[in-house]
């Protein structure tokens, strides 16, 4: 399909019925700015803000009683000047501590909440004003609040959704079969939703949200409360559906394995602000600089050998962190130093085992949270 070039102000006029729309922003830099012109956006936000008004409640019974009649409010900025763009088919993980503003952002992107200020376009539509047109093109899961109808068996819920979304037969045949096979829904189909366990309900919720092969899947904690093997099942299903329909994926989670297994780009939110936006590889390059070589020795090294080795390692970019008994730990930064350090260690010490360790994504993210988040009551 040849791209149509729209000025940003025209974007909301793009035919809402189109399932996939290629939007190319005409920017001030004109034809010279090929990078921007080449972007086909699924999601675009500019200086997006959301402030909640919260009633002030004083502690104690008296305070609660007074709160009923008082109109005193405090304002809480949950999302602050958030700007990012996601291209069609991208697989983006959205992380941040509890209360960072992830769900609030997803609610604004899906038309559930109206932004306080700023711009947001999803498939060229304003999610709040055009949420009806948008609804048929997106799939949404809020893991903390499953959405299936309570008293109806799963099979009927899926059929109802098929009718509501007017899912074509060929699409339904694929998505339904995939859901039943990959998420093991067979034994659950005749069971009423209210009788399902949390993990079973979550699998059904996910199947329901992707039944119409949406152009964008917004998944807010789709693996919350699932056991390890079901998590694997859910990740494989998400990966499969994303690849099959080239959907855009925006997924929030506190289990970073969800991200490493289904996404290649990361947005990290810190108290409403975007702290990192880039590929997983960039994230690693930026935050996983410290690596370790851990050695097991046949016999402990002498004090003199230890001192000499520490000096030699320093010259090669390493630091002897630990050398006690049979265990030696050397730390270093960057990718290049490992071969020379390893070679030196093997020639100097009676090594019986050696392990090279990289910081994993959990420890990277934990150290970022520790660095950026002073204890603050939200």
Ligand X SMILES: Nc1ncnc2c1ncn2[C@@H]1O[C@H](COP(=O)(O)OP(=O)(O)OP(=O)(O)O)[C@@H](O)[C@H]1O
- Cα torsion through 267, 268, 274, 278, rounded to 10: -40
From the list Mg ion, ligand X, none, pick the one residue 76 interacts with, judged by a Cβ distance below 5 to 8 Å according to partner type: ligand X
Rounded Cα distance between 280 and 173, Å, is 34
List Cα–Cα distances, 189 to 21, 34, 203, in angstroms: 34, 50, 11
Q: How far is CA 275 from the centre of its chain?
A: 14
From the list ligand X, Mg ion, none, pick the one residue 100 interacts with, judged by a Cβ distance below 5 to 8 Å according to partner type: ligand X
98 vs 302, beta carbon nearer ligand X:
98
Binding site for Mg ion (CB under 5 A): 103
* Joined tokens for residue 68: 């009923």
Query: Which positions from 119 through 138 interact with ligand X, judged by CB under 6 A?
Result: none
| Minimum separation from the CB atom of position 24 to ligand X (A) | 31
Which class for 62: exposed (0-12), middle (13-18), buried (19 or more C-beta within 10 A)?
exposed
Give buried/exposed letters for 292-309 (b at 16+ CB in 10 A, else e).
Answer: bbbbebeebbeeeebeeb
**If binding is defined by CB under 6 A, does position 253 make contact with ligand X?**
no
Partners of 358 in beta bridges: 291
| Minimum separation from the CB atom of position 147 to ligand X (A) | 16
120 vs 167, beta carbon nearer Mg ion:
120
From the list Mg ion, ligand X, none, pick the one residue 163 interacts with, judged by a Cβ distance below 5 to 8 Å according to partner type: none
**If binding is defined by CB under 6 A, does position 376 make contact with ligand X?**
no
Rounded Cα distance between 313 and 315, Å, is 5
Interface segment toward ligand X; rule CB under 6 A; list 32-40, 96-104, 258-266, 293-301: 96-104
User: 43 φ, ψ to 5°?
Assistant: -135, 135
Interface segment toward ligand X; rule CB under 6 A; list 41-49, 99-107, 242-250, 352-360: 99-107
**If binding is defined by CB under 6 A, does position 99 make contact with ligand X?**
yes
List Cα–Cα distances, 58 to 54, 76, 108, 226, 325, in angstroms: 12, 17, 30, 37, 58
* Residues 153, 188 contacting (CB under 8 angstroms): no
| Minimum separation from the CB atom of position 348 to ligand X (A) | 48
**If binding is defined by CB under 6 A, does position 229 make contact with ligand X?**
no
Question: Dmax of the chain from CA atoms?
Answer: 78
List Cα–Cα distances, 251 to 129, 153, 322, 360, in angstroms: 23, 27, 39, 20
| Minimum separation from the CB atom of position 107 to ligand X (A) | 8
56 vs 64, beta carbon nearer ligand X:
56
52 vs 84, beta carbon nearer ligand X:
52
Which class for 124: exposed (0-12), middle (13-18), buried (19 or more C-beta within 10 A)?
buried
**If binding is defined by CB under 6 A, does position 103 make contact with ligand X?**
yes
Interface segment toward ligand X; rule CB under 6 A; list 82-90, 102-110, 210-218, 366-374: 102-110
103 vs 209, beta carbon nearer Mg ion:
103
Interface segment toward ligand X; rule CB under 6 A; list 91-99, 156-164, 240-248, 255-263: 91-99
Among 9, 163, 302, 378, binds ligand X (CB under 6 A): 378
Query: Which positions from 17 through 56 interact with ligand X, judged by CB under 6 A?
Result: 52, 54
**If binding is defined by CB under 6 A, does position 98 make contact with ligand X?**
yes
* Residues 258, 251 contacting (CB under 8 angstroms): yes
103 vs 262, beta carbon nearer Mg ion:
103
Q: Which residues bind ligand X (CB under 6 A)?
A: 52, 54, 76, 78, 96, 98-104, 378
């Amino acid at each position: 399909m040849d791209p149509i070039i729209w000025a940003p102000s025209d974007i909301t006029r793009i035919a809402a019925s189109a399932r996939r729309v290629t939007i190319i922003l005409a920017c001030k830099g004109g034809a010279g700015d090929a990078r921007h012109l080449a972007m086909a956006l699924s999601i675009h936000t500019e200086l997006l803000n959301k402030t909640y008004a919260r009633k002030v409640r004083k502690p104690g019974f008296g305070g609660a009683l007074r709160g009923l009649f008082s109109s005193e409010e405090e304002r809480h900025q949950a999302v602050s000047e958030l700007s990012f763009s996601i291209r069609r088919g991208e697989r983006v993980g959205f992380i941040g501590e509890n209360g960072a503003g992830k769900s609030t952002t997803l609610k604004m992107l899906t038309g559930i909440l109206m932004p306080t200020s700023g711009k947001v376009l999803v498939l060229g539509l304003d999610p709040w004003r055009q949420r009806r047109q948008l609804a048929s093109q997106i799939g949404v899961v809020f893991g903390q609040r499953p959405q299936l109808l309570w008293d109806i068996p799963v099979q009927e819920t899926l059929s109802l959704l098929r009718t509501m979304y007017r899912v074509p037969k060929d699409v339904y045949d694929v998505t339904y079969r995939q859901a039943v096979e990959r998420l093991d829904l067979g034994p659950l189909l005749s069971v009423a939703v209210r009788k399902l366990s949390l993990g079973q309900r979550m699998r059904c919720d996910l199947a329901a949200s992707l039944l119409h092969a949406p152009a964008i899947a917004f998944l807010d904690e789709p693996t919350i409360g699932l056991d390890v093997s079901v998590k694997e099942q859910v990740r494989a299903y998400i990966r499969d559906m994303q690849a099959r329909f080239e959907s855009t994926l925006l997924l929030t989670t506190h289990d970073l394995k969800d991200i490493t297994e289904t996404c290649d780009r990361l947005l990290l939110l810190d108290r409403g602000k975007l702290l990192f936006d880039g590929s997983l590889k960039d994230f690693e390059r930026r935050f996983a600089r410290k690596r370790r070589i851990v050695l097991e020795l046949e016999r402990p090294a002498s004090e003199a050998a230890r001192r000499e080795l520490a000096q030699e390692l320093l010259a090669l970019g390493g630091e002897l962190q630990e050398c006690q008994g049979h265990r030696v730990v050397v730390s270093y930064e960057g990718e290049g130093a490992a071969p020379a350090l390893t070679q030196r260690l093997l020639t100097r010490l009676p090594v019986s085992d050696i392990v090279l360790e990289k910081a994993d994504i959990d420890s990277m993210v934990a150290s970022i949270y520790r660095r950026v988040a002073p204890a603050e009551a939200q």
